[in-house]
Structure 1
Amino acid sequence: MMKHLFYTSISLVLLGACQQNTTHENSTTSATTQIAPPPVYEMGFNLNEYTLVKDTLKQGDTFGKLLEDNHIGATQIHNIAEATRELISPKNFRVGRPYAFVFSKQKPDMPHSFVYQPNLSEYIVVKLADSLEAYIVQRKITIKERALAGNIENNLSVDAQAIGISQAATYQLGEIFDYTVDFFRLQKGDKFKIIYEERYVDDSICVGIEKVKAAYFEWEGKPFYAFNFTTDSLKGTNGFYDEKGNMMKRMFLQSPLDIFRITSKFGMRFHPVLHRMKGHFGTDYAAPTGTPIRSTAAGTVIEAGFGSGNGNYVKVRHNNTYTTQYLHMSKILAKKGQSVSQGQVIGLVGSTGLATGPHVCYRFWKNGVQVDPLKEKLPDAVPIEESLKASYLNYIAPLKAQLDQLKVSEEKK
Structure 2
Amino acid sequence: MRKLSYTLLLALAFTACKKEVENKDLGEVEVIEKAPPVLEEYGFVLNDFEVIRDTIRSGDIFGKILDTQGISPGKVYEITEKVRETLDPTRLIVGKPYTVLRSRDSARTAQFFIYENDRIEYTVVSIGDNIAAYKGSKPISIKKKMISGVIVSNLSEAMQNQGLSVLLSHELSSIYQWSIDFWKLQKGDQFKMVYNEKYINDTIYAGIENIEGAVFVHQNRPYYAFSYMVDTESGKSDYYDEEARPLQSFFLKAPLNFSRISSRYSGNRFHPVQKRWKAHRGTDYAAPHGTPIWSTANGTVIASGYTGGNGNYVKVKHNDTYTTQYLHMSKRNVRAGQRVKQGDIIGFVGSTGLATGPHVCYRFWVRGKQVDPFRQNLPAAEPIAEKLKNDYFVAIEPVRTALDEIQFKEI
Q: Larger Cα Rg: Structure 1 or Structure 2? A: 1
Distance in 2 (CA, whole Å) between partners of 1:77 and 1:248 is 54
The AA in structure 2 aligned to 1:371 is V
1:141-200 Cα distance to aligned partner (Å, 9 max, x none) = 321112222233444344434423334333322322222222333333333333222222
Q: How does 1:322-401 map to 2 (within 5 A)?
A: 322-353=322-353, 355=355, 358-401=358-401
1:281 Cα shift? Answer: 3.6
Rate the CA distance shift 1:320–1:79 in 2: closer, same or farther, 3 A: closer
Between 1:332-341 and 1:386-395, the stretch displaced more is 332-341
Between 1:176-185 and 1:384-393, the stretch displaced more is 176-185
Report the TM-score, using the length of structure 1 for normalisation. Answer: 0.72
Please state if 1:41 is matched with 2:38.
Answer: yes
Report the TM-score, using the length of structure 2 for normalisation. Answer: 0.73
Please state if 1:304 is matched with 2:301.
Answer: no
Contact 1:112 1:127 in 2 (8 A): no
Distance in 2 (CA, whole Å) between partners of 1:251 and 1:357 is 30
SS in 2 for 1:184: helix
Distance in 2 (CA, whole Å) between partners of 1:93 and 1:312 is 22
Structure 1's unaligned 5+ residue stretches are: 1-20
1:299 Cα shift? Answer: 1.1
1:308 Cα shift? Answer: 4.8
Q: How does 1:152-301 map to 2 (within 5 A)?
A: 152-273=151-272, 278-301=278-301
Please state if 1:146 is matched with 2:145.
Answer: yes
Distance in 2 (CA, whole Å) between partners of 1:250 and 1:281 is 23
Rate the CA distance shift 1:333–1:61 in 2: closer, same or farther, 3 A: closer
Contact 2:297 2:342 in 1 (8 A): yes
Distance in 1 (CA, whole Å) between partners of 2:202 and 2:177 is 33
1:251 Cα shift? Answer: 0.8
Distance in 2 (CA, whole Å) between partners of 1:99 and 1:74 is 19
Between 1:346-355 and 1:180-189, the stretch displaced more is 346-355
SS in 2 for 1:173: helix
1:359 Cα shift? Answer: 4.1
Contact 1:230 1:236 in 2 (8 A): yes
Distance in 2 (CA, whole Å) between partners of 1:138 and 1:75 is 30
SS in 2 for 1:374: helix
Contact 1:148 1:165 in 2 (8 A): no
Structure 2's unaligned 5+ residue stretches are: 1-19
**What count of residue pairs does the alignment treat as equivalent?**
386
Identity %: 40
The AA in structure 2 aligned to 1:336 is A
Residue 4 (structure 1) aligns with = none
CA RMSD between the two structures:
4.6
Contact 1:161 1:170 in 2 (8 A): no
Residue 6 (structure 1) aligns with = none
Distance in 2 (CA, whole Å) between partners of 1:229 and 1:390 is 12
Distance in 2 (CA, whole Å) between partners of 1:150 and 1:360 is 35
Contact 1:272 1:356 in 2 (8 A): no
Q: How does 1:54-93 map to 2 (within 5 A)?
A: 54-57=52-55, 59=57, 85=83, 90=89
Contact 2:315 2:324 in 1 (8 A): yes
Rate the CA distance shift 1:134–1:320 in 2: closer, same or farther, 3 A: closer
Distance in 2 (CA, whole Å) between partners of 1:278 and 1:129 is 62
Rate the CA distance shift 1:102–1:310 in 2: closer, same or farther, 3 A: closer
1:28 Cα shift? Answer: 5.5
SS in 1 for 2:397: helix
Distance in 1 (CA, whole Å) between partners of 2:77 and 2:355 is 55
